């Protein structure tokens, strides 16, 4: 039911939203240093993430009363986490595409707002009874007590996840496709351990992605923008905390990690070698494009990597418990 509601609402929003965004002139800003063949995407509308933001929210809010009273707050807090990051992305998109200020929010402004959103999420979970100060490390079966340092580490994981998902959203369908296995992973964990709140949010995420995907596959009719990418990042991070194992993101979010690491390594290598490049172009999906792979081929490759990471994450999680 949450899959169906989220899918239908997302599709229902997108059908009128795409022509409205075109009329508004909310076109995607194309990187000047990106692949030259991406210039043709300049007329594709962005901010389409508003659609699955609405679909996922509708599914969670409609079905929230059906959850046991003890876990309703957990699902609501997870949704609010995703919405808070989605709102930051919306403001950034609005400034860029509606107010015609290409840079949008400054990096410092975005980081500050993201840290505040992460802090609010962690404070809400603490107020709801989650007072854990331990990071659970799958595969190694290690519990790492951090004490007061848990919260800065947790905030770093959340903000890092949000920005990594945003970095992954660089090809038609890529962020959507690699997040599909992630939603299925959390649904599988929820089913195995009978976690109703986790099930509701992860199933709603799956439905929203499925409703959005047909409009986002190459050649995309709409892009999710920072609105959608930030929302997805916040949602995925919240799901990992609902599992009490945020470090799980290193496995199920392996594509996000690879994309971010490739970007950081490219910058460091460039600076320390006087202008040489480690990759043909960063982040990693552009490197494979420059090597001759089509967008569809990169999508398939990265989705398979994501699926493998999610399978490993499921095995590691169930083994830990």
Q: How far apart are CA 151 and CA 66, in angstroms?
A: 31
How many CB atoms neighbour CB 287 within 10 A?
A: 18
Task: State residue 288's pLDDT score.
Answer: 92
Q: Which residues contact 13 (CB under 8 A, 6 or more apart)?
A: 50, 51, 54, 55
**Which of the pair, 35 or 12, is modelled with greater confidence?**
12
**Which of the pair, 95 or 41, is modelled with greater confidence?**
95
Residues 92-128 have pLDDT tens digits of: 998 888 776 667 789 999 999 999 999 999 999 999 8
Give the start-end residues of each E strand in the chain.
134-137, 142-145
Is the backbone peptide bond immediately before 34 cis, with ω within 30 degrees of 0? Answer: no
Number of helices (H) and strands (E), helices first, in the chain? 12, 2
Token pair listed for 78: 């997870």
Residues 179-206 have pLDDT tens digits of: 999 999 999 999 999 999 999 999 999 9
**Which of the pair, 101 or 156, is modelled with greater confidence?**
156
The residues facing 144 across adjacent strands are: 135
Residue 143 burial (C-beta neighbours within 10 Å; 0-12, 13-18, 19+): exposed
Q: Is it the case that residue 309 has pLDDT exceeding 90?
A: yes
Is the backbone peptide bond immediately before 219 cis, with ω within 30 degrees of 0? Answer: yes
Rg of the chain over Cα atoms, rounded to whole angstroms, equals 19
Rounded to 5 degrees, what are φ and ψ at 48?
-65, -15
Percentage of the chain exceeding pLDDT 70: 93
Residues 251-287 have pLDDT tens digits of: 999 999 999 999 999 999 999 988 889 888 989 999 9
The residues facing 145 across adjacent strands are: 134
Q: Which residues contact 192 (CB under 8 A, 6 or more apart)?
A: 318
How many residues in total does the chain contain? 321
Task: State pTM to two decimals.
Answer: 0.94
- What kind and span of H or E run contains 12? helix 2-24
Determine the average pLDDT of the residues in 277-301.
Answer: 92
């Amino acid at each position: 039911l949450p899959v169906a509601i989220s899918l239908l609402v997302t599709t229902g929003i997108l059908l009128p939203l795409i022509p409205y965004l075109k009329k508004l002139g909310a076109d995607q800003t194309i990187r000047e240093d990106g692949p030259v063949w991406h210039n043709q995407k300049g007329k594709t509308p962005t901010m389409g993430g508003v659609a699955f933001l609405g679909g996922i929210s509708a599914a969670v809010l409609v079905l929230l009363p059906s959850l046991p009273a003890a876990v309703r707050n957990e699902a609501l807090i997870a949704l609010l986490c995703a919405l808070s990051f989605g709102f930051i992305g919306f403001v950034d998109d609005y400034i860029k595409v509606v107010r015609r200020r290409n840079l949008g929010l400054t990096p410092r402004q975005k980081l500050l707002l993201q840290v505040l959103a992460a802090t609010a999420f962690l404070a809400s979970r603490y107020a709801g009874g989650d007072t854990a100060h331990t990071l659970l490390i799958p595969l190694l079966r290690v519990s790492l007590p951090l004490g007061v340092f848990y919260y800065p580490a947790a905030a770093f994981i959340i903000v890092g996840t949000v920005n990594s998902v945003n970095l992954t959203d660089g090809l038609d369908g890529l962020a959507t496709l690699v997040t599909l296995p992630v939603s299925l992973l959390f649904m599988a964990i929820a089913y195995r351990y009978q976690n109703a709140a986790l099930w509701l949010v992860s199933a709603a995420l799956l439905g929203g992605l499925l409703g959005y995907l047909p409009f986002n596959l190459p050649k995309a009719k709409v892009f999710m923008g920072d609105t959608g990418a930030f929302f997805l990042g916040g949602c995925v991070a919240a799901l990992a905390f609902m599992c009490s194992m945020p470090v799980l993101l290193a496995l199920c979010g392996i594509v996000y990690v690879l994309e971010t690491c490739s970007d950081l390594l490219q910058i460091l290598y460039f600076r320390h070698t006087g202008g040489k490049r480690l990759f043909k172009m960063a982040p990693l999906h552009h490197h494979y494009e420059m090597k001759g792979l089509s967008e569809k081929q990169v999508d398939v490759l990265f989705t398979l990597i994501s699926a493998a990471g999610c399978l490993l994450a499921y095995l590691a999680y169930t083994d830990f418990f």
